[in-house]
Each structure stands twice: as C-alpha cells, then as structure tokens.
Amino acid sequence: MLKQELWQAIPTLNNQMDFTNLPVALNERDIFVLSRINGMLSLGELVNLLHIERGEMEVIFAKLVKHELVFLDNYEQTRELLHEVYGGEEAQSGEAVPAFAADAEEAPAREPAAPKKSLDDATTVETGQWDIDSFFGLIHRLYLEKRTGILRIFTDQKVYKALFFEAGMLLNVSSVPFMAAECLGRIIQQAGYINQEKVIESLQRAKRNNTRQGEELVAMGAMRRDLLPEMLRIQVEVKLTEVMHWESGDWMFQNLPALPLRISRIDIDLPRLLFNLIWKRYPMEKIDRELRLRQEKFVGRSNRMVFDASSYSFGEGLEKFFQIILEKDNPLKRLQIISNLKPPQTARMIWALYLTGAIDFFDESRQDKVMAEIETLKEQIKNTERETYFDTLHTHWTVGDEGIEKAFKQWSGEEERAIVKTQGLVQQLHRTLLARIHAAYETLRTREGRRHYRAEIYDPDFILFGSEILRQKGESYLFTKEAPELAAPELESAIEIYDRNGEYYSELGLSYFLRDYPRNFRMAEEGRRLVKKGLAMNSGSEVVHLCVGLMYRHEKKSKQAVEALEKVLKINPDNRFAKILLNEIKSGVTSEEREKAAREFLERKNQADEKLEKLMAEKREAGGKKPEQSAT
C-alpha cells in the first residue's frame, strides 16, 4: 500500500498534452478519474469523492502518471507510486520515471513522518475539532505563524472546505463536493454583469481550452479584467459562508513546503474577508448570547492585534465606531449606548472585531474603572432625557402589554441590584435611571396609555403607515406561507398601534382559528369572534369576507365558505385568489396557481395606499414630525 504522504499529494493535469490524441487507450474508469483532477484535490480526497477503492485508484493513477497525463510535484512520490504498481519491471523498461521528472532535482529519500499534534515540522499534519469561534482563531494562528499548506474544514468525512495558505496568507478555497452555487460564472451573473448564456459559453470554452472560466469571460469581452479580482474575492466569501451554517466539525492542517503551482492565487484581503463573514453570516442569536455573558466586561484594543487597524478598510460609519473602541477601554454597556450604529450593527461590529483579533474583553478597565462607569451612567441619563419611553424600556414602539411588563421587570430589576451594590455618586445615578424607568412604565403599562403617548410623539400618518407594514407582514405569513403562528404576532402589533380597521381583526382572528382549530377550542372561538368583529366593523371589505370564507373552509363548512367567497367576488370580480379558492371547494382539487394568486392579492395597492405613501414622503422631505424608531 502507498504511504500516507502520497495520498495527501495533489495531482495536476499535463497542460502540454493533446487530450484528443492520447498516447494510451483509456477505459471508462480511467477517464472518470482523469476528468476529476483539477489541481486542488489530493489523491485521498479523490478516493472519497469518487467512491473508488484505494487499490483501484493506485492502478488507475499510476497509469495516468506513467503516460504523463498527470503530474505529481514531488519526484520521490512519483517513483513510489510507479514502483508500488509496476514493481522492478518498470525500472528495467525505463518507463518508471516519466520524462517530465527526468530533470527534477533528486530528493533525499526518507521515511514519512507520522502525524503529530504539532505544526513545528513542515511535513506534519495536525487535526482537531472546530466551532465557529475557534475557526477564526485557527486562521489567525496560521496567519501569524506564516504557515504554508492546506486547511480542511469538515462537516463530515465527504463534505469539507479546503483553504490554501502560503506564508500565512489565504490564497484560495475549494469545496468538496463542488457546489453549483459557488460557480464564478453564476456569482458574476447574480452581480448583473453577464447573462446565463455567457455563463454556459464560458464554461464550455474553459473546458475546451483547459483554462479558467474567469479568463474566458474576459477573453470573450463579457466582463472587464479589472472586475475579475473582486469577483474572485466574492467567490471565496461565498464558499466560506457555508462554514457559518455548519457551526462545528473536525479540521486538519497539512503542512507543505509549497503549494502546487496549479493552485490559483487570489489576492484576498484576509481581515476584510473574515470581518464580512461575521458581519453578514454569523448567527445573531449567538452574538447576543455571547455579549450578554460579557455585559460587565470592558472592551478595548487587543494587546496583540492580529491585523493592522488600517487593513479593515471600513466606511465612514464603521470607522468612526472602530476609533471610539480603539481610543480607550470602555464598558461594553457604554459602547452599546454611545454607538453611532443601530443596536444589531453595534453587536455585530464588536463581535466581528473580537473574532478577528482587533479588540478584546477585559475584567477591568486599563484606565480608571470608576470614572468610566460614571461616564456611562451619565450618558444613559442623557439618552433617557431625549429618547422615547419605549427606548427607555428598550422596547419597540409597537410593543403590547406583555412586552412592557417583561421589559420593566428586567430593567428595573437590573437598576435595583446595582443600587444595592454601589454607593456615592454611582448609586445616585442608578437611582435616577430607576426613576426614569418607573416613569416610562407608568405611562406605557396600559393600552390606552400607550396609544395616547404614541399620538403625542408620532405623526398619525406614521402610526397608520406602521400598522399597515405590520399588517402586510402578517398577511404574507397568513396567505402565502400558510404560517398562522407567525402571522398572529404581526397582526397583534398592528392592532396594538391602530385598532380602527376591521380587516386587522378579521385577519388576526383567522390566524388564531387556523392555528388552534380544533386543538384549542377556546382560542379557536376567540379567533371566530375576532373574524366576526372585523365583519361588523367593515362589512364591505373583500379582505374580511375572504377571511370568513377561509375560516369556514378550514372548518369544512363548504356552504358558508362558498357564500363568503362569492361575496368577495361581488365586491371585487377580479380577485383571482377568491376564484381559485371557490373552485377548489367546489371541485375538491387543489390548484397549483393558488400561491401565485395569493401573492397577486397581497400586491394590491389601492389609491388610499398610494396617497398615504406620498403623504409620508412629503412629510419626510419637509422635515416634519419624525419618529426616532423605524416603522418596523
């Protein structure tokens, strides 16, 4: 059997060979293996990918090497392979060493090193387990130690990413098995530079000319050469995005003296790539969880920054916040308050900088801890003076009873515990914050109080506009995605801020009924009551009668469902969604057009909607009353 080192070798095609006039006859299995050699997969990887036994692969590959169809960079590995398969007779015939290797420098013979848990020897292999956070730490290590080799990130034995490093710099990434969504042509097509026909043509030309697809696209005049490097960088980011979804697995790093020449070198901005992966793809719920565990920590410049601060190439907004973090150690809470970014962006920024080695968390400030806490509390108090009561309780402006109670309990409890633990000026400032929290709660604890408060601080058209956005979200879940459990919270929020539209009640009632009938009789009946309430409020609405029809349809009361849907068509004869539902009830056959018709129904836009949007736009331009929170 071949030594382990040879199974880790990466073969490349002989680009000088005329593959239309081969020097040897190849059978179907030979061609199958030859077609999969791309200069990026090792022999062992090809065995796993193609489901070929190692013994069979030895014979096939030796044949390809013997006739110079395929090269191995290492002369000794070539000799070992041919000797294993052909034995002494190949040496006798003079065919054991292909012509391409005749001028190669003689390599000293040695025994292959056994895998070690170390990266000290250039021939060793290291293995371990990874999760999302340690994945970035592993890349930092390879970068700082200037390693050359291949890092394989596994989700299982046959699915992994291969990351190619040279002197610590990431040069390329490949996926095993190949993912069609990662094709460079498709990525360029999605960016809007080429169409599907150019993608196919460039692939055919690349295969025919044994070149790369990007080079063919440039040669065809389909895209400018100066755009190609950025598209290749985006392709690398797309390939690594899948790792964020895997979340954990095994890894193996194979040290190499040099990467095979066949590996395409891409100019990758490593800090920018890693930051973008975290900024765009890292699970937000995990970031929130990790930052909650570090709420009492200080944040500041790392004692050993992995990358230079200027290498991130941030835009103005992110750069401003970055400089605030680097200027001095700040309590995490203070950074979250003074940030010029939105809260989710602030959290992502902090965590991305942490995982890329720019900043770190500390138990104590490297400046004066007490002064920093006082400054933080003063900032919080200033914010409560200019922000809304909803902001004081850290809630959205559409929140209802349950959300207000939960927020008050959390934040008042936090301040009460802080008062017990502190003294002097710090304690006084915490008492001031607690008083502001109580004032906010007293104003917002009832629905009537919240409505009155919203009317004071928000433009009435903004409130109506916000309720319509929530209603549209709820409708989408209800009618096209058939997810009443997701529709209900959106519609509850719509009614919370605007309760004068009967359609809201009917849609909320329908979501309850579809979600709970027949398992939960009480909530199903509450849904029926709300549907009827909406009907009483707005009996001339096609939406209301549609909800009535769908409720009876779900209850298998066909006669009442038909009557309700016929009323929909009487109000709006062009409602294709109602027509399809009516036909389904009568025929008993489900239509493939139902979802499309539902989307068309949801895309309706009457003159009142257009007038409202126009009015909101005019108010924004005029600098009128502008809420501090978004409509959604």
pLDDT surpassing 70 at residue 621: no
400 close to 493: Cβ distance less than 8 angstroms: yes
Q: What is the pLDDT of residue 74?
A: 67
Q: What is the pLDDT of residues 399-435, one digit of tens each?
A: 999 999 999 999 999 999 999 988 788 899 999 999 9
pLDDT at 98: 40
Claim to verify: residue 328 and residue 204 sit in the same structural domain:
no
CA gap 464, 470 in Å, rounded? 10
pLDDT tens column, 141-189: 999 999 999 999 998 877 889 999 999 999 999 888 877 778 888 888 8
In this predicted structure, the answer to whether residue 367 has a pLDDT above a threshold of 70 is no
Are 604 and 467 contained in the same domain? yes
Query: Which range, 83-97, 241-255, 487-501, is most confident?
Result: 487-501
Position 594, amino acid: R
Res. 615: pLDDT tops 90: no
* pLDDT higher than threshold 60 for residue 625: no
Q: Which residue has the tokens 């009917």?
A: 506
Q: For residues 255-262, give the mean pLDDT.
A: 82
Residues 503 and 605 in one domain: yes
Do 523 and 489 fall within a single domain?
A: yes
The answer to whether position 621 is within a domain reads no
Confidence of residue 253 (pLDDT cuts 50, 70, 90): very high
- The whole-angstrom separation of Cα 101 and Cα 73 is 9
Res. 586: pLDDT tops 50: yes
Model pLDDT, residue 81: 77
103 burial (CB, 10 Å; 0-12 / 13-18 / 19+) is exposed
Q: What is the mean pLDDT of residues 260-282?
A: 87
To 10 degrees, the CA torsion angle through 346, 352, 357, 363? 50
Boundary (domain end) residue, out of 101, 136, 169: 101
Residue 358 predicted with pLDDT over 60: yes
Judgement on whether residues 284 and 420 belong to the same structural domain of the protein: no
| 301 and 313 belong to one structural domain | yes
Percent of the chain with pLDDT over 70: 86
Helix residue spans in 517-627 (DSSP H): 521-537, 542-554, 558-571, 576-587, 594-602, 607-622
- Which pLDDT does position 109 carry in this prediction? 27
Residues 258 and 167 in one domain: yes
If you average pLDDT over each of 202-211, 251-260, 502-511, which comes out highest? 502-511
> What value does the mean pLDDT take over residues 245-266?
86
pLDDT tens column, 452-498: 999 999 988 889 888 999 999 999 999 988 899 999 999 999 999 99
- Alpha-carbon distance of 70 to 10, in angstroms, equals 10
Segment 601-625 mean pLDDT? 60
One domain for residues 205 and 318: no
For 620, other C-beta atoms within 10 Å of its C-beta total: 12
Cβ(281)–Cβ(318) below 8 Å: no
Q: How many CB atoms lie within 10 A of CB 32?
A: 13
Q: How many domains does the chain have?
A: 5
CATH number at residue 602: 1.25.40.10
Q: Is residue 111 part of a domain?
A: no
Considering the domain architecture, whether residues 257 and 278 belong to the same structural domain is answered as no
Residue 235 confidence class, pLDDT cut points 50, 70, 90: confident
Q: What mean pLDDT, rounded, does the chain reach?
A: 83
Same domain, 416 and 444: yes
Note the pLDDT tens digit of each residue in 57-75: 888 888 888 877 887 766 6
Q: Are residues 464 and 451 in the same domain?
A: no
**For 188-204, what is the mean pLDDT?**
84
Whole-model pTM: value is 0.45
| Residue that is last in its domain, among 268, 302, 333 | 268
Asked if 570 and 540 count as a contact pair (C-beta separation under 8 A), the reply is no
Q: What is the pLDDT of residue 189?
A: 85
pLDDT in tens, 572-584: 999 999 999 999 9
Residues 494 and 604 in one domain: yes
Q: Is residue 354 part of a domain?
A: yes
pLDDT on residue 113: 33
The reported pLDDT for the residue numbered 95 is 36
% of the chain residues with pLDDT over 90: 41
Provide mean pLDDT across the span 185-209: 83
The CA-based dihedral angle spanning residues 267, 355, 162, 206, taken in that order and rounded to the nearest 10 degrees: -40
Q: Does 624 reside within a domain?
A: no
Average of pLDDT values for 556-572?
A: 94
**Does residue 413 lie in a domain region?**
yes
Tokens of 6: 């040879």
**Does residue 627 lie within any of the structural domains?**
no
CA dihedral over 468, 470, 471, 473, signed as positive or negative: positive
Comparing 28-37, 125-134, 366-375, the range with the smallest average pLDDT is: 366-375
The per-residue pLDDT for range 100-138, each reduced to its tens digit, is 333 332 222 222 333 333 434 444 788 999 998 899 999
Q: Has residue 403 been placed in a domain?
A: yes
Q: Does 191 map to a domain?
A: yes
Q: Which domain holds residue 248?
A: 125-268
pLDDT value at residue 215: 83
CATH of the domain at 416: 1.10.287
Residue for token digits 């007038």? 611
Q: Which of 438, 457, 476 is the last residue of a domain?
A: 457
Strand-pair category, 298-301 with 159-166: unpaired
**Tokens 């390939």 -> residue:** 239
Q: Give the pLDDT mean for 365-375.
A: 76
pLDDT of residue 512: 95
3-state SS of 264-316 is CCCCCCHHHHHHHHHHHHCCHHHHHHHHHHCCCCEEEECCCCCCCHHHHCCCH
pLDDT higher than 70, residue 554: yes
